[in-house]
Amino acid sequence: MLDVSRHFFPVADIKRLLDRLAALKMNRFHWHLIDDQGWRLEIPGYPRFTEVGAWRTLPDGSRYGGFYTVADVAEIVAYAAARNIVVVPEVELPGHSMAGLASYPELSCSGKPEAVATKWGILDGVYCASSEPAARILEAVLKEVCRMFPGPWIHIGGDEVVRTRWESCPRCLEKIRSEGLNGVEGLEAAFFRRFLAFVQSQGKTPLGWNELFEHSIPKNIPVQWWHRPDLAVKTLKTGNPLLVSDVAYCYFDYPYVETDPWYIKSFMLLTPVEKVYANPVVPPGCEALAEGIWGGECCLWTEQVPPSEIDNRLRGRLEAFSEVYWTFDKRPGWPDFRSRL
Ligand code: ACM
Ligand code: ZN
């Protein structure tokens, strides 16, 4: 996974990354196209997503951003396909949505104008979970995305939803009351049910981050597990496929060692190559359920990663990751891998 919202990566950089993936027999490219700090995908019929949502104003007043056109997407998808890589686009719902809200304020609970985010972190921006006009815009976006990407999977995000805006939205509160939902948590579950079903109605398989599994989710919806072993166990017990992206082993934005210039002590883990290679693959408590594990995915979040830094973050880690998932319990071992690397 590459996050192209926090930093924008030109098409040439994406192609170079796809070349690296192909060289290591990695066969999926999860493209995190939308987040608080930028909407990076042209949506025919909805020009404000890229006129407004693709740009943020930096403290010095300059604009930062960019986006991929429909033609760029076709080029990337074809380039990937020629290398046996399927592109999995992510349309993050309903949180991490400040760029979408800035583009179309009617997507929010209040309808008030907002700006594309410039701060990092978990922000309170969230699509209104009870507005029909908002839902129809989001369905139109998903419909275009299903058309643009020929692969079978569409990722709908679902992580780190902050529900406070729903708690003070009269429309959301009325929906909770009239439909007898279990508070804002039940409202979130209803929101996911609607959009999971919508993606399925377009002939695609939706997937999402493990927070989806705080709710009861239909069978066969794959879940991308990044934290909370309880949710990995729950996913596998109900027979849903689990894609493992354990934050402790698979997040390659983290520094290798404390002396790396991008180390931020307050929250960052360290991920040396040896640790990537030691990934147990099976989440804690899932030993008896490991048959349900679908595969693994490493994630490159880019708050601290401009295009010039990609190679620094992947060096050694991508090679280790590929070997871990292609060999699992037949891993030749760290000393052997290290000498080959
Ligand atoms: C995530 O790291 N928020 C999926
Ligand atoms: Zn609302």
Q: What is the pLDDT of residues 238-265, one digit of tens each?
A: 999 999 999 999 999 999 999 999 999 9
Q: CA-CA distance, 195 to 86, in Å (whole number)?
A: 22
At residue 283, what is the residue type? P
Please say if 7 is a catalytic residue: no
Mean pLDDT of 282-311: 96
Distance 246 CA to ligand 1 centre (A): 10
Catalytic residue among 124, 160, 179, 311: 160
In words, the CATH class of domain 2-340 is alpha beta
Quote the ligand 2 centre to 105 CA distance (angstroms).
12
CA-nearest residue, atom 2 of ligand 1: 226
Query: Which token pair is 6?
Result: 């926090």
Peptide bond into 218 cis (omega under 30): no
Residues having CB closer than 6 A to ligand 1 are: 159-160, 209, 226
What is the pLDDT averaged over residues 43-51? Answer: 98
Atom of ligand 1 nearest to the CA of 251: 2
Model pLDDT, residue 119: 96
- CA of residue 39 to ligand 1 center, whole Å: 17
Mutation pick for ligand 1 pocket among 155, 209, 213, 268 (CB with most ligand atoms within 8 Å): 209
What is the chain's Cα-based Rg?
A: 20
pLDDT of residue 291: 94
Answer yes or no: are the C-beta atoms of 63 and 56 closer than 8 Å: yes
Q: What is the mean pLDDT of residues 323-327?
A: 96
Residue boundaries of the structural domains of the chain: 2-340
Average pLDDT over residues 87-115: 98
pLDDT value, residue 288? 96
From 224, 226, 244, mutation site for ligand 1 pocket: most ligand atoms within 8 A of C-beta: 226
In the annotation, is 36 catalytic?
no
User: Residue 267: its pLDDT value, please?
Assistant: 87
pTM of the model: 0.97
Kindly name the residue from 7, 32, 96, 155 that is annotated as catalytic.
96
Any idea what the Cα angle at residue 293 is, between residues 287 and 295, rounded to 5°?
A: 130
Cα(145)–Cα(212) distance, rounded to whole angstroms?
20
160 is catalytic: yes
Average pLDDT over every residue of 132-155: 98
336 Cα to the center of ligand 1, angstroms = 32
Residue that has been written with the tokens 């989806």 in this structure: 212
Name the closest-CA residue to atom 3, ligand 1: 159
**Cα distance between residue 109 and residue 116, in whole Å:** 16
